[in-house]
A and B are shown apart, each in its own frame.
Chain A
């Protein structure tokens, strides 16, 4: 074998091993840097439910309309509640006259001496006054409650935001406590990044994050918190109080994805956010990759 041959073999093998090392570096870099394409924009969605039941007589918002905190959203038929207020006012008047009558009775009996009115009758009249006073206070409280119900026929926005997927219309019957519309809080947008568990050691709270929406807009954010629990899919539900363990294949295991909550630092005016948008998240890790724990890879 000539020297020329040996050198050509060595050179080829050298280039080949360099290629192998570079591919491994690329793979490790791709797998061990904290980034994910599985990010979603989210927001707090308030389910608006009327505090009183009744027909919807007026709908003051359109679908997707922006509303401010305290804006009137819809009106439930107030007629029943007006009548209830009148009824309660009449009851107050009634209880009041009963109370005045008993007080007068009691005063009269108190003025007479024991020969005319027995001590028992006098004490009873005093207690009758106390009872009438309590009934009067109860009637007053009932009146306040009916007035509160009347006020609650006007459903107002609890936060600034956008009405979404409005499916309630004038003439529908709104039930107390049952949500009739969704209000997306416009100050509450944040991003959930679903990071593989192998990348989690590289993420710490307070790290800066680069976000890129699918449509290309760039945003910046800060890691707010990391979820401390996800559902165990191997054991979805125990039946008959015993575990229902999924018999998984031994060789292949997928890394679970843990939600990382990212606070949006500032959203440019021209970027329109909707809860549910997809985004790519790259986190500027503050952890030294050399010391961070990582899975064994060959």
Chain B
């Protein structure tokens, strides 16, 4: 699905990736909470690094999918 390359955010024309970032941030936080609830982060070496990397992967894949 081709997304418009820019989007009107409160009168400011921003690249769509910024909006996508906010959306994935919300969803990513939900996923993050679910994983934490199952206690899977206790097995990680560096929980914060793992969480940031997981979110980055998620955001990158979503953005690549919409921008192909």
Interface residues of A (CB under 8 A from B): 4-5, 8-9, 11-13, 15-16, 18-19, 22-23, 25-26, 29-30, 35, 37, 210, 212, 214, 216, 280, 282
Contacts and interface: CB of A to CB of B under 8 A. Distances in A.
A23 B46 contact: no
Contacts of A280: 4-6
B64 A22 contact: yes
A contacts with B: majority SS: helix
A99 to B, nearest CB: 76
B61 to A, nearest CB: 6
B49 A12 contact: yes
A8 B44 contact: yes
B45 A5 contact: yes
Contact of B53 (A5, A15, A25, A35): A15
B44 A11 contact: yes
B60 A12 contact: no
Contact of B45 (A12, A19, A30, A214): A12
A22 B5 contact: no
B56 A19 contact: yes
B49 A26 contact: no
Given A12-B46, A37-B6, A282-B5, A18 B64 contact: no
A22 B6 contact: no
Nearest to B63: A26
B38 interface: no
Given A18-B57, A25-B60, A280-B6, 8 more contacts: A8-B45, A19-B53, A19-B57, A22-B56, A22-B61, A26-B60, A37-B6, A214-B13
Contacts of A25: 60, 64
A127 B44 CA distance: 117
Given A9-B45, A12-B45, A214-B13, A22 B60 contact: yes
Contacts of A216: 4
A35 B5 CA distance: 9
Contacts of A282: 2, 5
17 contacts: A9-B45, A11-B44, A11-B45, A12-B49, A15-B50, A18-B57, A19-B53, A22-B56, A22-B60, A23-B60, A29-B64, A29-B67, A35-B5, A37-B5, A210-B2, A212-B5, A214-B13
